[in-house]
Structure 1
Amino acid sequence: MLLHIDSSLRTEGSVSREVTAAFATAWREAHPDAGYRYRDLSADPLPHVDGEVLAAREGADRHELEQRLKAELEEADTIVIGAPMYNFSVPSSLKAWLDWILVPELFVDQETGVGALTEKRVVVVTARGGSYAPGTPRHGFDFQEPYLRAVFAMLGLDRDLEFVHAELTHAHVTPRLAQFRDQADASRQDAHRVVRKLAAV
């Protein structure tokens, strides 16, 4: 099953949504008999984890939403996540989802490094207004990919983890970035090429 998650606040003109949709379409064509589940964290935001939820994690009566989100992960073979960069990190809606699924029973065993989700495949599609590639002035401001890599490592989802970056997405709307429009178009096209290739596997 493919679990398809979007978190962009924008429904029109969202590059991350555009690219995850391209992945999902290609994946479903390559796996016509597999299941598919879509979750839009912007249109249907999750509540923040609160004290009541934390207290429930210490007992036997776990929160129904937590159990549902956990089941979605466990059922999926492949997970594609649209994660635009907001203020150098991830959208709060995506952070809320992560807070719901980061539960002890899904953590990897510290000795073996293996957990309930270890064999699953994850593709993260990012959209960034500027460029945060190695060697660029803002490389050190990327708290998006390093954060997600660290979180997914806790869940054993780092063994088959791919990041696909569409950068300079603001070049067509921000005058001071107009000189980078060709690079922005190339990055977007490359993201589409890469996700189609990844989806065919």
Structure 2
Amino acid sequence: MSRVLVIESSARQEGSVSRQLTRDFIAQWQAAHPADDIQVRDLAVEQVPHLDANLLGGWMKPAQEHSEIERAALDRSNQLTAELQAADVLVLAAPMYNFAIPSTLKSWLDHVLRAGVTFQYTETGPQGLLTGKRAFVLTSRGGVYAGGALDHQEPYLRQALGFVGIHDVTFIHAEGLNMGGEFAEKGLAKAKAQLAAIA
């Protein structure tokens, strides 16, 4: 049995293409792997605060010096990190907002990319501690950006995931969704076909 962690980050609950892709992924994955445990964390419903002094204090101060707010911030980071550590498969649903990922997803990453916990610094450079995991990133985009200079999603997420040791990463882009008609339909159909092949 594998554990699958799904991270939703779309601000929209209705009409969200990234959420549609996630639903398709979960249905197909469950059909192919019925014994797997799937956990969904919705960052639009349970928002993760931005990195702030309270979280930094929770990370850096001795436990006996923590304020209640710092302790709560550390507990939240520990919970999110533990979910990621326990997962065998990570699924990130990431609509493109202003050429990049949603700020909610960035906040989640800021809570789980932790020195000494999910990566460590060595004499030869940083080393990821979350090896052996697979990741799938499901994006939705109004235009066509894959492989271009304006795509700040895929390069950033590949780097962030690789930094913690997750190098087996598959991207599925639903592109051209705001370009209308047949173009949008083809973009979504292509993404759905790729999803079906994965499961």
TM-score, normalised to structure 1, is 0.86
Q: Supply the distance in 1 between the matched residues of 2:125 and 2:99 (Cα, whole angstroms).
A: 33
Q: Which of 71, 79, 103 in structure 2 is aligned with 1:92?
A: 103
Structure 1 residue 108: Cα displacement: 5.4
Q: Does the alignment pair 1:55 with 2:66? A: no
Coordinate RMSD, CA, aligned:
1.7
Structure 1 residue 149: Cα displacement: 1.2
Report the equivalent of 2:48.
Answer: 46
Task: Name the % identity.
Answer: 40
Query: Quick check: 2:175–2:184 contact (8 Å CA) kept in 1?
Result: yes
When structure 1 is superposed on structure 2, of 83-92 and 53-62 the one drifting more is 53-62
Structure 1 residue 112: Cα displacement: 8.6
**Partner SS, residue 142 of structure 1:** coil
Amino acid across the alignment from 1:92: S
What does 1:111-122 correspond to in 2, within 5 Å? 111=124, 115-122=128-135
User: Higher strand share goes to which structure?
Assistant: 2
Structure 1 residue 120: Cα displacement: 0.5
Amino acid across the alignment from 1:106: T
Report the equivalent of 1:103.
Answer: 114
Q: Supply the distance in 2 between the matched residues of 1:153 and 1:127 (Cα, whole angstroms).
A: 22
**Partner SS, residue 140 of structure 1:** coil
Structure 1 residue 109: Cα displacement: 5.7
Query: Quick check: 1:128–1:168 contact (8 Å CA) kept in 2?
Result: yes
Q: Supply the distance in 2 between the matched residues of 1:133 and 1:31 (Cα, whole angstroms).
A: 30
Distance 1:92 1:191, change over 3 A: same
Report the equivalent of 2:12.
Answer: 10
**Partner SS, residue 165 of structure 1:** strand
Query: Quick check: 2:96–2:153 contact (8 Å CA) kept in 1?
Result: yes
Query: Quick check: 1:74–1:116 contact (8 Å CA) kept in 2?
Result: no
**Partner SS, residue 74 of structure 1:** helix
Q: Which of 129, 143, 155 in structure 1 is aligned with 2:152?
A: 143
Structure 1 residue 114: Cα displacement: 5.3
TM-score, normalised to structure 2, is 0.87
Report the equivalent of 2:163.
Answer: 154
Structure 1 residue 10: Cα displacement: 1.1
Q: Supply the distance in 2 between the matched residues of 1:101 and 1:121 (Cα, whole angstroms).
A: 16
Q: Does the alignment pair 1:72 with 2:72? A: no
How many residue pairs are counted as aligned between the two chains?
Answer: 186
Report the equivalent of 2:145.
Answer: 132
Query: Quick check: 1:20–1:82 contact (8 Å CA) kept in 2?
Result: yes
Query: Quick check: 1:113–1:156 contact (8 Å CA) kept in 2?
Result: no
Give deviations 1:36-56, integer Å, cap 9, x for gaps.
111111121111121121122
Query: Quick check: 2:141–2:173 contact (8 Å CA) kept in 1?
Result: yes
Report the equivalent of 2:174.
Answer: 166
Structure 2 alignment gaps of length 5 or more: 64-70
Distance 1:196 1:112, change over 3 A: farther
